[in-house]
């Protein structure tokens, strides 16, 4: 019985791999190679910065909020892990062009909204 289950699992796994879009394994390997601790730290920092921006907006300091946001965006643009994440995202886009993959923020994306940062808070 175990042999039949094992054989079935092997067949299903090989079938699933055969159905995987070309380049998907490369994208998966890329994502798995990312420094997970660094990503976690960046997420925590992003949350703190978001809270700081929100507090500045609540205090009516839109220019301060804009300054904090642009500084953070410039910091993450120069981050090595973010560069690796961009590479992995591009591999995902190539493997699955119809799958929506969020853009990684950059300063250019926020330049247009910089004057109304407090209005654009979620």
Spell 65-100 as b/e; 16+ CB within 10 A means b. Answer: bbebbeebbeebeeeebbebbeebbebbeebeeeee
pLDDT tens column, 71-92: 988 888 888 988 898 888 888 8
Q: pTM above 0.75?
A: no
* Cβ neighbours around 114 below 10 Å, total: 17
- Taking 60 as the threshold, does the pLDDT of residue 14 lie above it? no
pLDDT at 64: 93
pLDDT-derived band at 122, boundaries 50, 70, 90:
low
Dihedral pair phi/psi, residue 106, rounded to 5°: -140, 170
Domain residue spans in the chain? 2-116
How far apart, in whole angstroms, are the C-alpha atoms of residue 72 and residue 50? Answer: 10
């Amino acid at each position: 019985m175990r042999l039949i289950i094992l054989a079935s699992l092997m067949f299903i796994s090989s079938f699933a791999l055969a159905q995987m879009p070309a380049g998907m394994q490369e994208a998966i390997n890329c994502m798995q190679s990312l420094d997970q601790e660094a990503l976690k730290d960046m997420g925590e920092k992003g949350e703190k910065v978001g809270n700081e921006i929100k507090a500045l907006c609540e205090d009516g300091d839109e220019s301060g909020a804009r300054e904090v946001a642009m500084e953070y965006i410039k910091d993450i643009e120069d981050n090595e892990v973010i560069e690796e994440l961009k590479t992995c995202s591009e591999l995902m886009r190539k493997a699955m062009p119809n799958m929506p993959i969020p853009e990684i923020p950059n300063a250019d994306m926020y330049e247009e909204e910089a004057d109304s940062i407090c209005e654009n808070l979620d």
